[in-house]
């Protein structure tokens, strides 16, 4: 009887794509949208979630360049204010008016993996400020960051129905450079644990990694997920503040300054 119940529960959870408690991003836990109102996800025009993003100004969503490259605004949707992907009444779905991709972007593992989506109307969700060059302390090894997303809860598994979070310490640049020959320390940092187990994964990229109420990084790349010796790599946002501010602080199209 108990075994049947467990079986039925497992089948039910598998069918709804829900991660079981304790296996969640990977090795994370649920997070509320109320506490993280700037956390958004991106879908294609069929409603399939493929990346994350962060509201960084009322009409601006920061994501990874590799999430936006090769797509037109009309085939993208920003889903804001929705913790549970299946809760279609929560929050809103918005089609961006414009996509800005860093002009030096080529591929995620070469750096400059940042893009900004401009919306026609302001979102009613509190933006998260960018880390600045003065925030050097946030990038010191051992600093505890919090990554958020609706990405996969295991390397080859399904993406999460609910917003998840995991705490990941910044790792030394030398460790990241040993793990990945292409690691560019000026443009990237890596975070996680030498033994793996807790990490971001596919579907989390473009999304935020935060500390002290600031956007410290954008989930970018890594070899697999939660593997020993292969931590997640994140965009070093402070390094791009100069490139991002003119775009993030610009008025949306159609809004004319007085």
Residues marked active site are found at 66, 113, 205
Count Cβ atoms below 10 Å from residue 65 Cβ, excluding itself.
Answer: 25
202 binds ligand 4AZ (CB under 6 A): yes
200 binds ligand 4AZ (CB under 6 A): yes
Of residues 112, 125, 199, 247, which one binds ligand 4AZ by CB under 6 A? 199
Residues 215, 128 contacting (CB under 8 angstroms):
yes
- Provide the minimum distance between the beta carbon of 233 and ligand 4AZ in the complex, in angstroms, as a whole number: 7
- Provide the minimum distance between the beta carbon of 244 and ligand 4AZ in the complex, in angstroms, as a whole number: 20
Q: Which residues of 202-231 are buried (b: 16+ CB within 10 A; e: fewer)?
A: bbbbbbbbbbeebbbbbbbbbeebbbeebb
Instruction: Round to whole Å and give the CA distance between 59 and 160.
Output: 26
| 159: helix, strand or coil | strand
Nearest CB to ligand 4AZ, comparing residues 87 and 155: 155
Instruction: Round to whole Å and give the CA distance between 246 and 244.
Output: 6
Nearest CB to ligand 4AZ, comparing residues 119 and 171: 171
201 binds ligand 4AZ (CB under 6 A): yes
Nearest CB to ligand 4AZ, comparing residues 118 and 219: 219
205 binds ligand 4AZ (CB under 6 A): yes
113 binds ligand 4AZ (CB under 6 A): no
């Amino acid at each position: 009887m108990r075994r049947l119940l467990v079986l039925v529960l497992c089948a039910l959870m598998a069918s709804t794509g829900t991660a079981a408690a304790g296996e969640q991003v990977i090795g994370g836990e649920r997070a509320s949208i109320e506490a993280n109102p700037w956390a958004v996800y991106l879908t294609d025009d069929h409603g399939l979630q493929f990346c994350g993003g962060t509201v960084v100004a009322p009409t601006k969503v920061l994501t990874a360049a590799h999430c936006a490259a090769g797509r037109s605004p009309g085939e993208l949707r920003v889903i804001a204010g929705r913790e549970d992907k299946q809760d279609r009444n929560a929050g809103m779905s918005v089609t961006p008016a414009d996509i800005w991709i860093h002009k030096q972007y080529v591929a995620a593992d070469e750096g400059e993996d940042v893009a900004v989506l401009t919306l026609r109307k302001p979102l009613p969700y509190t933006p998260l400020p960018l880390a600045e060059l003065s925030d050097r302390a946030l990038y010191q090894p051992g600093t505890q960051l919090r990554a958020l997303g609706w990405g996969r809860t295991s390397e080859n598994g399904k993406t999460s129905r609910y917003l998840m979070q995991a705490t990941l310490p910044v790792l030394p640049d030398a460790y990241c450079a040993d793990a990945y020959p292409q690691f560019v320390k000026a443009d990237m940092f890596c975070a996680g644990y030498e033994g793996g187990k807790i990490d971001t994964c596919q579907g989390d990229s473009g999304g935020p990694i935060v500390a002290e109420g600031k956007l410290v990084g954008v989930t970018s790349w890594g070899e697999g997920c939660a593997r020993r010796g292969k931590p997640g790599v994140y965009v070093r946002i402070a390094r791009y503040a100069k490139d991002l501010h003119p775009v993030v602080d610009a008025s949306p199209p159609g809004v004319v300054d007085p």
